[in-house]
Amino acid sequence: MEAVVPVPAAVEIVSLTKRYAAGTPAAVDSIDLRIDSGSYCCLLGPSGCGKSTTLRMIAGHESVTSGDILLDNRNITDLPAAARGTAMMFQSFALFPHLSALDNVAFSLKMKGVGKTERHQRANDLLARVAMGHLAERKPGELSGGQQQRVALARALITEPRVLLLDEPLSALDPFLRIQMRAELRRWQKELGLTFIHVTHSQEEAMALADTMVVMNHGLIEQVGPPREVYNHPASEFVARFMGGHNVLDVPAGKVAVRNDHMHIVPESAAYSLGTNALAAEITDVEYQGTYVLLGLALADAAPAARNVSVMLGEAAFVARPYARGERVRLGWADADARTLATSA
């Protein structure tokens, strides 16, 4: 028997709200979202912003206070988890340590009462599909992190989901493995063509993985878009600060965000004119980062909360004109590099 080719589904969320207890703020506050079929979507935001609650409502592991969840236009809001066409992959893969890879993958079929021959055949097909056929008899402890992730993927796929839900699957891994595993997740998503919804608090991880990033804050969606669009056109001060790599600056018209690698910096004494966008600052930190140097600065004429800014200088530019802690400088930027920000909720 051939492993079934999964059919991806679009996910639509309409006015979705979750309130854990009456009188408390909504953990998820009337959000609307459409996730394209076959795309990699990352829900991104700080701890407590409602990412896992959203994912668990899609999975059917958490009841909905109000609103709807649709899979390819089918309303699944009140269906049991197993009938939705979704599957979940958990943090650190959560494999059963005492079971072989094969039995891990076949586990949910066993629970459903599928006979041994059929469930082993289907599990073997899936393990072969994720290039793990030759290691089917190994236990998780005898597999590398990457191999364990493939077993966890096969285990999630055995229920033939149309949408795979992943809640911080990489966050317990060491940094090297995390970067390898995310590249592998991305490859499998493209290869399988399934819809992936991946929750993370890491903007770097979301940018590396996502076709579409959904930035959340306090139960609300702040911005939705491809990573480059979100990074280059942050919609709000929250998004600019959370994505990092930006300075939020007060200008007469309000607040703007400027990427820290788009800032211009000159010594205070330099005759060079920075035009109208010029601010006096003092260097507070110099961090060598390899391909670039990150300068921390304090603006001379800013309120304490808005004082700290950063400038990313290419290594060659820094070597040509090094800056030291305590040096006074002037900062500038081109109007074309300034993004006007909406005030965050």
Site residues, Mg ion (CB under 5 A):
52
Residue with smaller CB distance to ligand ADP, 52 or 189 = 52
d(CA 127, CA 90): 18
Residue with smaller CB distance to ligand ADP, 77 or 217 = 217
In this chain, which residue has its C-beta nearest to Mg ion?
Answer: 52
Q: Which residues would be at the binding site for ligand ADP (CB under 6 A)?
A: 20, 27, 45, 47-53
Q: How far is the CB of 201 from ligand ADP (least distance, A)?
A: 7
Q: Which residue has the tokens 């070597």?
A: 319
Residue with smaller CB distance to ligand ADP, 47 or 73 = 47
Q: How far is the CB of 186 from ligand ADP (least distance, A)?
A: 21
Residue with smaller CB distance to ligand ADP, 48 or 146 = 48
Asked if residues 77 and 69 have their Cβ atoms less than 8 Å apart, the reply is yes
Residue with smaller CB distance to ligand ADP, 8 or 169 = 169
Q: How far is the CB of 217 from ligand ADP (least distance, A)?
A: 10
Rounded to the nearest 10 degrees, how much is the dihedral formed by the CA atoms of 242, 244, 246, 251?
A: 20
Asked if residues 88 and 167 have their Cβ atoms less than 8 Å apart, the reply is yes
Residue with smaller CB distance to ligand ADP, 47 or 276 = 47
Q: How far is the CB of 130 from Mg ion (least distance, A)?
A: 26
- Give the chain's length: 345
Q: Please, what sign has the CA dihedral across residues 341, 296, 227, 40?
A: negative
47 binds, among Mg ion, ligand ADP, none (CB under 5 to 8 A by kind): ligand ADP
β-pairing, 74-75 with 246-251? unpaired
β-pairing, 328-332 with 292-299? unpaired
27 binds, among Mg ion, ligand ADP, none (CB under 5 to 8 A by kind): ligand ADP
49 binds, among ligand ADP, Mg ion, none (CB under 5 to 8 A by kind): ligand ADP
Residue with smaller CB distance to Mg ion, 52 or 124 = 52
Q: Please, what sign has the CA dihedral across residues 128, 132, 135, 137?
A: negative
53 binds, among ligand ADP, Mg ion, none (CB under 5 to 8 A by kind): ligand ADP
**229, containing H or E segment:** helix 227-232
Say which DSSP state 342 is in: B
339-340, strands of its sheet edge to edge: 246-251, 254-259, 339-340
Say which DSSP state 168 is in: S
Joined tokens for residue 204: 């770097």
d(CA 245, CA 207): 13
20 binds, among ligand ADP, Mg ion, none (CB under 5 to 8 A by kind): ligand ADP
d(CA 200, CA 207): 11
Q: How far is the CB of 290 from ligand ADP (least distance, A)?
A: 31
Q: How far is the CB of 218 from ligand ADP (least distance, A)?
A: 9
Q: What are the two backbone dihedrals, phi and then psi, of residue 178, each rounded to the nearest 5 degrees? A: -60, -40
Q: How far is the CB of 17 from ligand ADP (least distance, A)?
A: 12
Rg (CA), the chain: 24
Q: How far is the CB of 55 from ligand ADP (least distance, A)?
A: 8
Residue with smaller CB distance to ligand ADP, 88 or 312 = 88
